[in-house]
C-alpha cells in the first residue's frame, strides 16, 4: 500500500468515526446498514468479482447469518457480539458445502443453481418443523444492545461503532487474502482455469473455499444486519436481496475491495432517493439510476475513480507517459 492510500484510508476512518455524532440516530442506523452491506458485498465480490463464480443467491447466506444471530440470542441467550463469529462459521461451512456440487456448474448454470438457493430460502425459513426456532412467518424480534463499559453512546451509535469495527477487521482480512498467493490463484482461475490448474492451482479446492469465505462474509453481514434492524422474518430475505447484492458489486466495481463500499452506499441510499423523487414508481427511478451508473462508469465506481486518478497522474507527469509509448 502506498503512503497516499494509507493517509486516505485513515482519513476515511476518521470521518466514519465522526459521522454518528453529527447526524440523526436514524441516519446513523442507515450508515450502520451501509457497513453491513459493504461486508456482504466484499464477500460476494471475492466469489464473483475475483473468482468469476456468479451467485444470484447470496441473500440466502445473508438470511442464514441473520437467523443464526437471532436464534442464538433468542433461544440460547448468547450475547449479540458472540453471534457474529458463530454466524460466520455456520455460513463458511454451508457455503463450502454448497460450493462442492457447484464446481460442476459454470457461468450461467451456476447462476441458476444459486438463484434456486436464493429463491427457496424464505420458504425454507417458514418451514413448519423449524417454526419453534425460526418463529415461522412472524420471525424473531431482537433487543437492541446498549453500549458497554458505560460509554457515553446511545445504542444506535454503539451499534454503528461495533459494526464499523467488524467491517474494518473483515476488510483487512479480505485485503490480505486477495493481495497474495491466494488472491492471485483466485483471479487466475477466473482468467484461465486450465492454465491455472497447469500451474499447480488446486481449482476445486480454491473454488469451494472461495464459496465458503464468500458465504462467511455475507453471513457475518447478515448477523450484524439482524442486530441492527432488531428483527428477522423470512420475507426480509427475498430473492430481491440477492439481486440487489449483485447490483451492488457491479455498480461498486467488480474485483475491487473499495468497490464494496461504493456499492453499499448505492444499494442503501439510492432506493431511498428514488422513493423521494417518485412515490409512485420508485423502482423505475432506481432503474434509471442504475442504467446511468453502468453507462457512465462501465467498470463500476471503483474503476472510474481509478481511471480518474491515472489520468491525473498522466496529466502531472506527461513526460513519463511519452517515454512509455516508445515501443
DSSP collapsed to 3 states, 21-49: HHCCHHHHHHHHHHHHHHHHHHHHHHHHH
Exposed e or buried b per residue across 206-235, where buried means at least 16 C-beta atoms within 10 angstroms of its C-beta: bbbbbbbbbbbbbbbbbbbbbbbbbebbbe
* CB-nearer residue toward other proteins: 8 or 199: 199
- Single out the residue of 154, 155, 203, 238 in contact with other proteins (rule: CB under 8 A): 203
Alpha carbons within 13 angstroms on the beta-carbon side of residue 272 total 9
> Is 180 a residue that touches other proteins (CB under 8 A)?
yes
Which of 198, 280, 296, 319 is the binder for other proteins (CB under 8 A)? 198
Nearer to other proteins, 90 or 265 (CB): 90
What count of other Cβ atoms lies within 10 Å of the Cβ of residue 284? 11
Figure out which of the listed residues 137, 195, 291, 307 binds other proteins, where binding follows CB under 8 A: 195
Q: Is 181 in the site for other proteins (CB under 8 A)?
A: yes
The residue within the footprint of other proteins, chosen from 93, 182, 294, 305 (CB under 8 A), is 182
Overall size of the chain counted in residues:
327
Tally Cβ neighbours within 10 Å of residue 192.
Answer: 12
Q: How far apart are CA 211 and CA 208, in angstroms?
A: 5
d(CA 214, CA 178) in angstroms, rounded, equals 12
Task: Identify which of residues 144 and 184 has a Cβ nearer to other proteins in the complex.
Answer: 184
H or E element in which residue 140 lies = strand 140-141
Burial class (CB in 10 A: 0-12, 13-18, 19+), 42: buried
Determine the interface stretch with other proteins among 69-77, 127-135, 184-192, 218-226 (rule: CB under 8 A).
184-192
Name which position in 75, 192, 311, 314 contacts other proteins (CB under 8 A). 192
Which residue from 197, 290, 303, 306 is in contact with other proteins, where contact means CB under 8 A?
197
CB count in 10 Å sphere of residue 26: 8
When the beta carbons of 101 and 180 are compared against other proteins, the nearer one is 180
| Shortest Å, Cβ 109 to other proteins | 22
199 binds other proteins (CB under 8 A): yes
Residues 204-233 that bind other proteins (CB under 8 A): 209, 213
Residue 93 binds other proteins (CB under 8 A)? no
Site for other proteins in 243-282 (CB under 8 A): 255
Instruction: Output the smallest distance, CB 176 to other proteins, in A.
Output: 4
The one segment of 35-43, 83-91, 180-188, 265-273 that binds other proteins by CB under 8 A: 180-188
CA atoms of 183 and 178, how far apart (whole Å): 4
The residue whose grid cell reads 467488480 is 254
Q: Which is nearer to other proteins, 75 or 179 (CB)?
A: 179
Q: Which residues bind other proteins (CB under 8 A)?
A: 173-174, 176-177, 180-185, 187-188, 190-192, 194-203, 209, 213, 255
Amino acid at each position: 500500500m502506498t503512503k497516499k492510500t494509507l493517509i486516505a484510508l485513515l482519513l476515511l476512518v476518521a470521518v466514519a468515526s465522526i459521522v454518528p455524532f453529527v447526524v440523526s440516530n436514524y441516519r446513523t442506523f442507515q450508515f450502520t446498514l451501509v457497513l453491513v452491506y459493504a461486508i456482504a458485498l466484499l464477500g460476494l465480490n471475492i466469489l464473483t468479482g475475483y473468482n468469476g463464480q456468479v451467485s444470484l443467491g447470496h441473500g440466502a447466506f445473508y438470511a442464514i447469518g441473520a437467523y443464526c444471530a437471532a436464534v442464538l440470542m433468542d433461544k440460547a441467550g448468547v450475547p449479540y457480539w458472540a453471534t457474529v463469529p458463530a454466524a460466520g462459521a455456520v455460513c463458511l461451512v454451508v457455503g463450502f458445502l454448497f460450493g462442492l456440487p457447484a464446481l460442476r456448474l459454470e457461468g450461467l448454470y451456476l447462476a441458476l443453481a444459486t438463484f434456486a438457493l436464493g429463491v427457496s430460502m424464505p420458504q425454507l425459513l417458514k418451514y413448519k418443523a423449524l417454526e419453534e426456532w425460526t418463529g415461522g412467518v412472524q420471525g424473531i424480534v431482537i433487543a437492541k444492545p446498549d453500549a458497554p463499559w458505560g460509554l457515553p453512546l446511545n445504542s444506535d451509535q454503539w451499534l454503528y461503532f461495533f459494526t464499523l469495527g467488524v467491517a474494518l477487521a473483515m476488510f483487512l482480512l479480505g485485503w490480505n487474502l486477495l493481495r497474495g498467493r491466494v488472491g492471485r490463484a483466485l483471479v487466475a482461475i477466473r482468467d484461465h482455469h486450465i492454465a491455472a490448474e497447469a500451474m499447480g492451482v488446486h481449482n476445486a479446492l480454491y473454488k469451494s473455499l472461495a464459496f465458503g469465505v464468500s458465504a462467511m462474509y455475507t453471513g457475518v453481514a447478515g448477523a450484524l444486519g439482524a442486530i441492527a434492524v432488531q428483527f428477522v422474518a423470512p420475507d426480509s430475505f427475498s430473492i430481491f436481496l440477492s439481486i440487489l447484492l449483485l447490483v451492488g458489486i457491479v455498480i461498486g466495481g467488480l474485483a475491487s475491495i473499495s468497490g464494496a463500499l461504493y456499492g453499499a452506499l448505492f444499494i442503501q441510499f439510492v432506493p431511498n432517493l428514488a422513493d423521494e423523487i417518485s412515490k409512485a414508481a420508485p423502482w423505475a427511478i432506481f432503474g434509471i439510476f442504475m442504467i446511468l451508473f453502468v453507462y457512465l462508469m462501465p467498470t463500476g465506481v471503483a474503476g472510474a475513480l481509478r481511471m480518474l486518478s491515472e489520468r491525473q497522474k498522466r496529466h502531472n507527469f506527461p513526460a513519463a507517459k511519452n517515454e512509455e509509448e516508445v515501443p
